[in-house]
């Protein structure tokens, strides 16, 4: 049994979010929650929210599922759209600022 959760258009760059996602890849559900609670990164809160949503989806699909059997089968952080802004620079020029967004997908499974 697999459960999936997706969070789209999160205002954090995919590179920063992937650093946190790699920490919990392949981990058990409860261990992943503990690791994300301990990490002092903005992306850990976003990924934790998506992970808990995937856990709730697993309980909704199969109420008998045990949290100890669930593990993070797949986690991906894809690039969303980029907000383009400009900032004034010296000598009348403009510097580009790219505010990146991310899409987080987590798939939990209880099968090996």
Please tell me the predicted confidence (pLDDT) of residue 112: 65
pLDDT band at 85; cut points 50, 70, 90: very high
The domain of 92 spans: 2-109
CATH classification of the domain holding 32:
3.90.470.10
Tokens of 112: 């090996």
Rounded Cα distance, 57 and 103, in Å? 18
- pTM, full prediction: 0.92
Tokens of 43: 């992306």
**Tens digit of each residue's pLDDT (9 = 90 or more) over 8-52:** 999 999 999 999 999 999 999 999 999 999 999 999 999 999 999
Number of domains in the chain: 1
């Amino acid at each position: 049994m697999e459960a999936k959760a997706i969070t789209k258009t999160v205002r954090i760059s995919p590179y920063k979010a992937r650093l946190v996602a790699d920490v919990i890849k392949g981990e058990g559900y409860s261990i992943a929650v503990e690791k994300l609670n301990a990490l002092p990164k903005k992306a850990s809160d976003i990924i934790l929210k998506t992970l808990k949503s995937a856990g709730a989806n697993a309980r909704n699909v199969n109420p008998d599922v045990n949290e100890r059997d669930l593990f993070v089968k797949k986690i991906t952080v894809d690039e969303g759209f980029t907000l383009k802004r400009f900032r004034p620079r010296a000598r009348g020029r403009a510097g580009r600022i790219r505010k990146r967004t991310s899409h987080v997908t987590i798939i939990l499974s209880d099968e090996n």
